[in-house]
Amino acid sequence: MKNLKNYLVCAAVAGFQFVNAQDNNDTNIASHILNVDVPEVALLDIFDANTNTEAAAILFDMSDATVSGINAEAGLYDFQALSYTNLYLNYTSVVAGASNANGYDLTRKINVRFETGSTFPGNLDLRITPDAPVIVTDGGTVDSAGTVVATGVALGKTVPVGTDALLVDSIESVYTGDDNQGVKLTYTVEQNGNFASFKAGSYQSTIVYTLTDL
């Protein structure tokens, strides 16, 4: 009988603990918390549609800078005969949800420069002309993709080596898609100053594009 009593006490205690383990507030609705962390993102690359790869070395051969053919006519030298197009800036940007301390929305920009140590012929500019951004469906809006500097930038004589120039402004949250998306670029060469400073030689420049952080 004593053992039976002990068994009943143990069973009662176990049952009491089981009851207390329930919240006793169950209804036809249940809920719990889900946390989602979205980091800020700033990614950029340059796609060359001429080679279907990321952009690599590009050659401008100034022996082609004539009106017709190589050195076809004395006294004629057409710098703008040299051009390279079908380059695309692809980028992804996720900006912070809050405005900054001054109350302005947070945006990014794309700058471009000749890297320090680059060389470029005297009294010439490399004109980089951007088209308006083209993005994939639902990749952003006309506004969030940013605004290009319509006239482009001129690196060399106008913007010296090592100096950033603004190319795309007011970028918000956007992804352009890959390959032939984003901002299409055209490179041309322009004379900017006296021809006397234009000297023969091999010149090498590194063109750096930067999607700024916030």
Mean pLDDT of 169-179: 95
| Pairing of the two strands 108-114 and 53-54 | unpaired
Distance between CA 31 and CA 13 in Å, rounded?
Answer: 30
pTM of the model: 0.83
Q: Is 35 exposed, middle or buried (0-12, 13-18, 19+ CB in 10 A)?
A: exposed
Report domain extents, the chain.
41-211
Query: Do residues 146 and 171 touch, judged by C-beta distance below 8 A?
Result: yes
pLDDT at 8: 47
**Running DSSP on this structure, what letter comes out for residue 49?**
T
Reference 199, options 99, 126, 122; nearest CA is 122
Whole-number Å distance between alpha carbons of 189 and 127: 6
Residues in Cβ contact with 135 at an 8 Å cutoff, skipping those fewer than 6 apart: 145, 174, 175, 176, 177, 181, 182
Share of the chain above pLDDT 90, in %: 71
pLDDT in tens, 21-75: 566 778 999 999 999 999 999 999 999 999 999 999 999 998 888 876 766 788 8
Per residue in 73-117, pLDDT (tens digit) is 888 888 888 899 999 999 999 998 866 555 556 899 999 999 999
pLDDT at position 99: 63
The DSSP element (H or E) to which 9 belongs, if any, is helix 2-20
The tokens for 75 are 């006294």
Distance CA 183, CA 116 (A): 25
Torsion (CA) 55, 60, 65, 67 in degrees, nearest 10: -30
